[in-house]
Amino acid sequence: LAGALSPVYYNNPNFRIVEYDDESHRPLGMAVYTAPITTGSTPLDWQLGINITQAYPALSSAVQRDGYLTQRAYAELKTHLAEGGGDWNTYAQWYKA
């Protein structure tokens, strides 16, 4: 999975890696890697931007509790985001990056 590049918003290139269980095919996590745009033939320097199970406790708890990322976990994250606080700050920081 890859994100969009936009000359309007100056997005840097990025891609996502989705981790899943080999047997059940259920999702376990996702990481987004990003690289600043370079000039000329300078290679991109890919770095981890965010790992969702490390960034959001509700998602990490779901994997520990249920063994995979559930709809319930995302509903819990939605509630945490609506309340503001740490999860909202994480989201806002990553979104503006």
Mean pLDDT is lowest, of 6-10, 43-47, 91-95, for 6-10
Report the predicted TM-score, pTM, of the whole model to 2 decimal places. Answer: 0.81
**CA-CA distances (angstroms) from residue 91 to 14, 56, 87?**
17, 9, 6
Contact criterion met (CB below 8 Å) for 37 and 16: no
pLDDT tens per residue, range 51-94? 999 999 989 998 999 999 999 999 999 999 999 889 999 988 88
Identify the pLDDT of residue 96. Answer: 64
**SS3 (DSSP) at 86:** helix
Is the pLDDT at 36 greater than 70? The verdict is yes
**CA-CA distances (angstroms) from residue 74 to 2, 37, 53?**
21, 32, 11
Q: Is residue 40 classed exposed, middle or buried when 0-12, 13-18 and 19+ CB atoms within 10 A define those classes? A: exposed
Give the integer Cα–Cα distance in Å for 39 and 17: 26
